[in-house]
Amino acid sequence: MHFGTLARSLVIALGLSTLFSPAASAAAISGKTDLVCASVDVVACTQGNCLQGQAHTFDMPNFLFVDVKQRVVRAKEQESDKIESPIKSFEVTEEAIILQGFENHRSWSLGIERATGAMTMSSTGAAVSFIVFGNCTEY
């Protein structure tokens, strides 16, 4: 499987990051409203080797959209390029929002700090794993 295609599928399956920096977040994220997330830094690892870069380095979308009501994460670079992954677990705690799922034989997990919007996503698989750092905000 092409690394870029795999990477794009994983980030979409993973979940999130945002348009604004954590400092720009005026109010806590409720977990009741849709989110837009921006990927800032990405680390991709295979057995014994890791690379660091931005989303485009790994052919991943820069923005992800979390549809809270439909329980899906979507990426849409262009109108014809819409990809989505279902959210299997959606938890809101006092401090964090945690999303989890699986797709294409991979598991993914996304954690968002409610006070700031800071997010970390991870996706694990047999061949390659990803960690994505970024920010989310409600829209």
- List the pLDDT tens digit at each of the 139 positions of the chain: 344 444 454 444 444 333 334 444 457 899 999 999 999 999 999 998 999 999 989 888 889 999 999 999 998 766 666 788 999 999 999 999 999 999 888 899 999 999 999 999 999 988 999 999 999 999 8
Q: pTM for this one?
A: 0.77
CA 88 to chain centre: 14
- What range defines the domain where residue 52 resides? 3-138
Number of domains in the chain: 1
Positive/negative CA dihedral, 119, 64, 89, 122: negative
What token pair was written down for 77?
Answer: 């670079």
Cβ–Cβ contacts within 10 Å for residue 70, how many? 12
